Chains A and B, each alone.
Chain A
Amino acid sequence: MFESLLNALPVALQLGSLVSLVVGTLVGILIGALPGLNPVMAIALMLPLTYGFDPVIALGLVAGIYNGSMYGGSIPAILLNIPGTPAAIATTFDGYPMTRKGQGGLALKTACWSSAIGGIVSALALMTLAPMLAKVTLAFGPSEYFWVAVFGLVSIAVLVGKEASKGMLSALLGVIIGLVGVDAISGAERYTFGTLYLVGGFELLIVLIGLYAIPPVLEMAEKPNASYFNADSFRVSAGDGGFGLIRRYWPTWARSSLTGVCVGILPGAGGNLAALLSYNEAKRRASDPDSFGTGNPVGVAAAESGNSADNASAMIPSLTLGIPGNLIAALVLGALMIHGLQPGPQLFTRSPDVVFGFMWQLLLTAMLLLLLGGMIATRLFAQILRMPTALLVPTTLVLMAIGIYTVNGNVVDLYVMLAFGMLGYLLNRLAFPLAPVVLGVLLGPMAEQNLRLSMLIYQNDWTVLFSRPISLGIVALLTAVLFSQAWRAWRSQQHS
């Protein structure tokens, strides 16, 4: 295996591959940075252009866009409090407060390094552990998925905000939004009120952009003449070299990368879960948990290394089993099939150069992020803040509207986005955290469907939820999180 891995290195280093990596990474950063434009769309549109080329070039583009967009999403999250991709939600928690404090440059640099490290760790996991980790993927059945969803939802609801009860209510709101549409198990319509539009349910991207992107725009519009940003934000502080960051963040990076890799091997979970769980873990372990959410760079480091570490590892089930871990992985499988390569266990022996080459490409593009992201994109995008608010607000709104409209070409999506924008504004004013809402939309249906699937398979024998070792492990983890939180709350009550 290691011999084929080394043999594939020259393939990934040939000129065509390198060019496609650079182009892909730049496009990815840009797509990620524009809220509403998403990498799945970009890859789907670019792949047909590469049908005539070598598969290595197509996959280089995919690898570049994939890793680039994961970092790109953090740029508007940090500068404007608008996550460019769903996975960048956790990055807003501390990234934006840093910008307000005049540390925007440092936040971007931290995000860039963290994305690169997460991407590198994930690519290394893909290269060395893929066949072993694929076995773990298969061990997860519906009952395990149910617990993963419950664990993600509950731990984030409890840990993310200041008050656990508000977090729980937010999560519940998200679950209710996720109920709308056709029930996947029975086919019955729920909360559609006789409209065709609601039959498909609310799309996560539209909910996300509405909730997250409209309120900051409204808030900016509220104070048109105020000097909104600190001028120091434009400067990337020279004193903090990459090695300084490494010394400071390596324990956070290690934990978050591990979390990202673990979430990545489960098809359907995704980068935003990875980022939020990493953020929670960093907050839980910190000596000063209260500084999280007020501009602690460790929060940015945890979130960005977590979501980027999800990337390459989400390719593990796709490449080894032929089961796509996310939409981009599905596109990669499609690209391989168009080039006559059948995904599945034989792919590694039949076309090692392509598979291992792709792994190298994922590693290389994670490294490229340091160069392209750190030197070009960060400096370029920091200039956005120099725009007067009167220009910045409408420009951002128009870009988001274009992004959302391109998803389905349906104008109703724009009204829905605005409606969620109003909801987000309201929730902000009432100090309800938004992240649990988005997670509720994503994980609520996942929990419900998998619970019902396991009840169908085991004929309503609920003991199956507690009798399988992996399920028990997750339940134990969940209990630990809840107890440690309750303990902390009790202790702080004693102190005050």
Chain B
Amino acid sequence: MKTTLLITATAMSAAAFAPVLASDYPNRPIEIIVPAPAGGGTDNVARMLNQYLEQELGQAAAVLNVAGGGGAIGVNQLARSRADGYTLLSTWNSPITTVPHMQRVQYSYETLTPITSTSQSAYTLCVSPDFPADNAEELLTELQANPGRYTYGNDGVGGTMRLAAERIFDAFDITARPIPFGGAGETLQNFLGGHVDIYGGSITPVLPYVEDGQAKCLLVTSADDNDALPQASGLAALGHAELETVLWRMMLGPEGMDEARAEVIADAVARAVKHPEFQAFLADQGETLNLVRGEALRERLQQEAQAIGETLEGLGLKQH
């Protein structure tokens, strides 16, 4: 009885206080850590979103670039900062779900406060016009029939694109040789120059070459097909929707951040992404909106971290 009373009292006081806490938050500028260098894709999207987020919150939000360690250095800094809701993280998925398998870090998806995911984009596999395949099934069959013959450029060891490809190759019993480049730009350069057989990377850089016939993109790593690449199939069409690995972006807070404050930010993000200018910007980057918040977001992180851990284990890359 006593316990029940206590719980009721706590619940009531929480219910009574939460709106108060939420209403005067934020009352001073917020710092948003971006664990990537200024000017990269993550930084561009974060700064663009930030413009509209500031309007919705009625407070200034300063972006602080803390690059290095594949994003781990910035996330470490967030994990160490005060959980008062005035230091937040705007990141892509790899520092949270991949990097902890490979390096020692001071955070985990289990402890960081999930706020909301924002947008996502798939990766694609493309081949040159004379490659003997014209759709996803033919591509996979050709790769199956020639184990170890073809090279595919990717975003490096532990890169999300490489993991996306390896998950698919594993399921279809394919051996292709990964060539770890620094990112999509370098991969594109080597693909167009004929130095590697398959382009593996984000969709936007390769799009112009699809239009003028220098590249055939046959597979995207999302479950759904992609409108920009009509020749490519999504994983659902191949009967393996569960293999989806995409690049996605989210906002997180330090451990123990007040839930009501996380809600305030998540609501503001949900309103900010409605601005048509932001939506047009996302479309140009080949990204689609994807808002998952709170515990559902933590669940998504957990599933992805587990799947990536298994893939890394299989590749012999898992260290932690």
Contacts and interface: CB of A to CB of B under 8 A. Distances in A.
User: Is the A/B pair a real complex?
Assistant: yes
B43 A346 contact: no
Contacts of A44: 38-39, 43
B39 A40 contact: yes
A444 to B, nearest CB: 16
B316 to A, nearest CB: 10
B264 to A, nearest CB: 24
Contacts of A477: none
B45 to A, nearest CB: 10
B188 A187 contact: no
Interface stretch (B69-77, B236-244, B251-259, B289-297): B69-77
Interface stretch (A69-77, A211-219, A233-241, A324-332): A324-332
B51 interface: yes
Interface string B181-204: 110011011101111100000001
Interface in B47-104: 47-48, 51, 64-70, 72-73, 76-77, 102-104
A45 B38 CA distance: 8
Contact of B182 (A184, A338, A344, A409): A184
A457 B158 CA distance: 19
Contacts, number: 136
A9 interface: no
Interface string A459-493: 00000000000000000000000000000000000
Interface in A325-371: 327, 330-331, 334, 337-338, 340, 342-347
Interface string B269-303: 00000000000110011000000000000000000
Contacts of B196: 457
Nearest to B285: A337
A268 B190 CA distance: 13
Contacts of A267: 185-186, 189
A128 interface: no
A409 B31 CA distance: 13
A453 B211 contact: no
A447 to B, nearest CB: 15
Nearest to B281: A338
B80 to A, nearest CB: 12
Interface stretch (A86-94, A117-125, A138-146): A138-146
Contacts of B211: 346
Given A408-B65, A408-B68, A48 B281 contact: no
B7 interface: no
A323 interface: yes
A345 B212 contact: yes
A324 B37 CA distance: 15
A131 interface: no
Given A51-B51, A338-B284, A410-B73, A346 B212 contact: yes
A184 B154 CA distance: 12
Contacts of B103: 182, 189, 196, 199
A138 B189 contact: yes
B275 to A, nearest CB: 12
Interface residues of B, number: 57
Contacts of A408: 65-68, 73
Interface in B291-320: 317
A211 to B, nearest CB: 20
Given A184-B180, A408-B66, A139 B193 contact: yes
A192 to B, nearest CB: 9
A41 interface: yes
Nearest to B76: A196
A340 B69 CA distance: 32
B223 to A, nearest CB: 25
Contacts of A41: 38
A153 B43 CA distance: 33
A389 interface: no
Given A196-B73, A200-B68, A337-B284, A344 B185 contact: no
A342 B286 CA distance: 11
A344 B192 contact: no
A119 B156 CA distance: 35
A196 B188 CA distance: 31
Contacts of B194: 138
Residue in B44, B66, B106, B207 with the greatest tally of chain A CB atoms within 10 Å: B44
B97 to A, nearest CB: 16
Nearest to B211: A346
Contacts of B208: 322, 342-347
Interface string A29-61: 000000000001101110110010000000000
A137 interface: yes
A321 interface: yes
A189 B40 CA distance: 24
A28 interface: no
Nearest to A339: B284
A43 B189 CA distance: 25
A227 interface: no
Nearest to A328: B39
B48 A337 contact: no
Contacts of A330: 39-40, 185
Given A199-B72, A330-B39, A337 B204 contact: yes
B151 interface: yes
B126 to A, nearest CB: 14
A410 B66 contact: yes
Interface string B156-176: 111000000000000000000
Contacts of A225: none
A334 B39 contact: yes
A45 B37 CA distance: 11
A317 interface: yes
B147 interface: no
A329 B1 CA distance: 68
A343 B208 CA distance: 8
Contacts of B77: 409
A345 B213 CA distance: 11
Nearest to A185: B180
6 contacts: A142-B190, A142-B195, A187-B317, A344-B208, A345-B208, A409-B65
The 7 A-B pairs at the shortest CB distance, nearest first, are namely: A344-B208, A44-B38, A187-B157, A200-B68, A138-B193, A141-B195, A44-B39
Given A189-B103, A196-B69, 14 more contacts: A48-B47, A138-B193, A141-B195, A184-B157, A185-B180, A187-B157, A196-B104, A199-B68, A200-B73, A340-B284, A343-B205, A344-B208, A409-B66, A453-B180
